[in-house]
Structure 1
Amino acid sequence: MNETLPLGRIAGVRVGLNWSVLVIVALVTFTLAEGRFPDAHPDHSAWAYWALALLTAVVFLASLLAHELAHAVVARRNGVEVDGITLWMLGGVARLHSEARTPGAELRIAGVGPLTSAVAGGVLLILAVWLDALHTSGLVVEAVAWLAGINIVLAVFNALPAAPLDGGRLLRAFLWHRTGDRLRSTRGAAAAGRMLGWFMILTGFAAMVFAGDLSGLWPALIGWFLIAAATAEQRQAELHGVLDDIPVSRVMTRAPDTVPTTTTLASFLTEGPFGRYRHSAFPALAPDGTAAGLVTVRLINRAPFQARSTTTIGDVMRPLRDVTTAGPDDLVADLLPRLEASRDRRALVLDDGRVVGIVTLADITRALSWLAEATRPRT
């Protein structure tokens, strides 16, 4: 899930929002302001309901962020790098640089998320009881109690043994430990995820058709997401099996054409597409020859025509911190999910800060086709 609005870094982890997060904020705010709050405490003004509902929705997002940050922190402590966290309509996603290397690490990384939500729910529940004992406004107590309940529900739901939920990863860790086969364990967790997804879709539509309850659309939507994500997770595991132990250096395009950050756009455009610059994306180099970022034809075309003689590549490029990068010895299987989630669908291959290659999805797909053909049994 790509981020739309970067929020910076928390505990060294890049955090961002996807535009779809506005859907959950609007849904929570509207549901509380027009439903739960006035039903439970009808003696307040409309602005009080809406203001507290919006604040509650923001705190709910913060609890989702805490859940994903817990995954990220424990992943780093277990030797798994974290590329970032993105909050979106159906929760949050912690993008791990690679997979856990042992069932124990998988267990710790997956289990800390539901545990964090459960602890947050328990703390908020105690806070709601304490505020009620102090005779605080019933509306405030209602908001805190809702946050406590939703965090407990989040913990329980995420603990269900079905991929891609945290419980699915716990199931995979258990099966992996029992069988020693990561691919087989992933298939089992993915099958459980698809079963749960279909159950939620069927029950959601049944509620809408037979009970006229439109809220059934929500579990149906989550069920559809579970099926798609579980299938993608199984496909990713199978790709790992085919691409196992293949380094990035074997699929990358070596010594790609580069462009200095000091080059003006006008000068760059005079040499393409029939001159030196024949591609659609180029590594941008700092004056000392190290990688500075990535520039694409699309980014260049955004610059006003009249300013291209004074605008440089460095002014329009995507800076290196926002570009997917890899080392020559990194595994293709670990790079692939990051590449699919990147904005440019390209990764710069760096060795000591210098560009030694570039990898696109097409490069990996081509290698995958060859490997699949080579390993396909003959009849």
Structure 2
Amino acid sequence: MRPTFVLGRIAGVRIGVHWSVLLIFAVIALGLAEGRLPEAHPGHAWPVYWVVGLLTAVVFFVSLLAHELAHAVLARRNGVEVDDIVLWLLGGAARLKAEASNPAAELRIACVGPLVSLVLGALFTLAAWLLDMTSAPGLAVEPVAWLAAINILLAVFNAIPAAPLDGGRLLRAFLWWRTGDRLRATEGATAAGRVFGWSLMVVGLLLFVRGDVGGGLWLAMIGWFLATTATMEGQQAHLRGVLAGVPVRQAMTPDPVTVPVGLAVADFLAGPRYRYRHSAFPVTADGARPVGLMTLERARKVPEDRRHAVTVEQVMMPLSQVTVVGAGDPLADLLPRVRPGAEHRVLVLDEDRLVGIVSASDVSRTVTWLMTSDRGGRGGRGA
């Protein structure tokens, strides 16, 4: 799930928001402002209900962010780099660049999210009780009580032992510890995730048939997401098994065609070495030092009358936004970060020197070659 826009960074982790958050935000605010709050505490003006509903929805998403941020911070403490955190329709996701190195680290990273939600639920419960004991207005107690219940529900739901939920990670950590095989452990957790997801879809459809249209569709959608994501995780685990021990240099295109940082966009588009075969090119300065990535799409967005005045440096993706790896890094760790599209090319460096570039098709070609070779056949059977 790619973020629609970035809010900033917290504890060094980039926080992104997908546009679908607006939908669930509106559903929560509407449900509170037009439903739960006026029904439980009538007699207030409608703007008051809406202010309380909106503030409650904001605090709910802050709680979700705290849940995911806990995963991210503990992952980094256990040597796992974090791409970002993305809040979206069904909650949030902390995207990790690699996997935990052992079952104990996997257990710590997985359990901290539900634990944070449980602690928040307890704190909101205490706050609601204190407000009630001090005879605070019901309109102040109600949203705090709702936040307590939703955080406890979030903790319990995430603890269900089925991938991609946190409970699925806990199950994988246990199976990994018992069998010593991370791949078999992942297969067990993803199988549980598919069963749980399909079960939710069946229950959702039954509710829909019995007249609960909204609840049934929502439950079916959650089930579909869980089953689909669990299937994708299983496929990635299979690919990791095939790519075990394979370095990035085996998949990269060596010595890629580069673009000087000061080249005019018009010359870039007209140059014969940039017009064929490739759609993305590393940008270099001082002869060989990589500073970014230039794509044909970015160049073509520059108006024709300005292309002679605008340089590649002004429109390229800066190196800070490009995925960079070493030639000897494990190719399997690159899987979560390689996606189709020119802007998702990965630059391969040896110290500060550019030695190659990797695309999604390069990885696919390498996987195909490994699976049809003797080595790949053994990996495929083991997976």
TM range (shorter): over 0.9
Between the aligned partners of 1:213 and 1:39, the Cα distance in structure 2 is 22
| In 2: Cα distance, 1:132 partner to 1:354 partner | 64
> 2: distance between equivalents of 1:198 and 1:276?
48
Alignment match, 1:194: 194
Give the Cα–Cα distance (whole angstroms) in 2 for the partners of residues 354 and 41 of structure 1.
66
Where 1:344 maps in the other structure, the secondary structure is helix
Cα separation, partners in 2 of 1:319 and 1:35, compared to 1, 3 Å: same
2:279–2:342 CA contact under 8 A, matched in 1: no
Distance 2:37 2:287 in 1: 60
Q: CA 1:50–1:199 in structure 2 vs 1: closer, same or farther (change >3 Å)?
A: same
CA distance in 2, matches of 1:83, 1:51: 34
- In the alignment, which residue of structure 1 is the partner of 2:21? 21
Equivalent residue runs for 1:300-319 within 5 Å? 300-319=299-318
Structure 2: runs of 5+ lacking an equivalent = 379-383
Q: TM-score, normalised by structure 1?
A: 0.95
Tell me if 1:128 matches 2:134: no
Distance 1:288 1:66, change over 3 A: farther
Paired residue for 1:353?
Answer: 352
* Residue in 2 that maps onto 1:365: 364
Going from structure 1 to structure 2, the CA distance change for 1:304 and 1:255 (only over 3 Å counts) comes to: same
CA drift of 1:73 comes to: 0.8
Q: Following superposition of structure 1 onto structure 2, how do residues 278-317 of structure 1 map, counting pairs within 5 Å? A: 278=276, 279-287=278-286, 289-317=288-316
Q: Answer yes or no: is the 8 Å Cα contact 1:291–1:355 preserved in 2.
A: yes
Shift of 1:116: 0.7
* Distance (whole Å) between structure 2 residues aligned to residue 351 and residue 262 of structure 1: 23
Provide the rounded CA distance (Å) in 2 between the counterparts of 1:305 and 1:54: 46
Kindly provide the amino acid, as one letter, of the partner of residue 23 in structure 1: L
Cα distance in 2 for partners of 1:343, 1:95 equals 21
Contact 2:280–2:342 under 8 Å retained in 1: no
Tell me the amino acid that sits aligned with residue 279 of structure 2: S
How far, CA to CA, are the matches of 2:158 and 2:15 in structure 1?
Answer: 21
SS of aligned partner of 1:6:
strand
Structure 2 counterparts to residues 1-379 of structure 1, below 5 A: 1-271=1-271, 274-278=272-276, 279-287=278-286, 289-340=288-339, 344-374=343-373, 375-376=376-377
Give the match's secondary structure for 1:329: coil
Query: Contact 1:291/1:354 (CA < 8 Å) preserved in 2?
Result: yes
Q: 1:14-41: CA deviations, max 9, x gaps?
A: 1111111112111111111111111111
1:106-125 CA-to-partner distances (Å, cap 9, x unmatched) read 00000101001101111111
Alignment root-mean-square deviation, CA: 1.6
Identity of aligned residues (%): 55
User: What residue number does 2:381 align with?
Assistant: none
Following TM superposition, by how much is the alpha carbon of 1:209 offset from its aligned partner in structure 2, in angstroms?
A: 0.5
Deviation at 1:171, TM superposition (A): 0.3
* Equivalent residue letter for 2:303: P
Contact 1:284–1:294, Cα closer than 8 Å, also in 2: yes
Task: Give yes or no for contact 1:13–1:84 (8 Å, CA) kept in 2.
Answer: yes
Q: 1:23 to 1:172 in 2, by over 3 A?
A: same
Query: Which amino acid in structure 2 is aligned with residue 168 of structure 1?
Result: G
* Contact kept? 2:340, 2:360, Cα under 8 Å: no
Distance 2:130 2:261 in 1: 59
Q: 1:339 touches 1:345 (CA, 8 Å); kept in 2?
A: yes
Partner SS state of residue 242, structure 2: helix
Q: Which amino acid aligns with 2:29?
A: T
TM-score normalised by structure 2 residue count: 0.94
Residue pair 1:29, 1:50 contacting (<8 A) in 2 also? yes
The runs of at least 4 consecutive aligned structure 1 residues that moved more than 6 Å come to none
Question: Is the Cα–Cα contact under 8 Å of residues 2 and 343 in structure 1 kept in the other structure?
Answer: no
Q: In 1, distance between residues paired with 2:343 and 2:147?
A: 38
> Which moved further from structure 2: 287-296 or 37-46?
287-296
Distance 1:283 1:106 in 2: 36
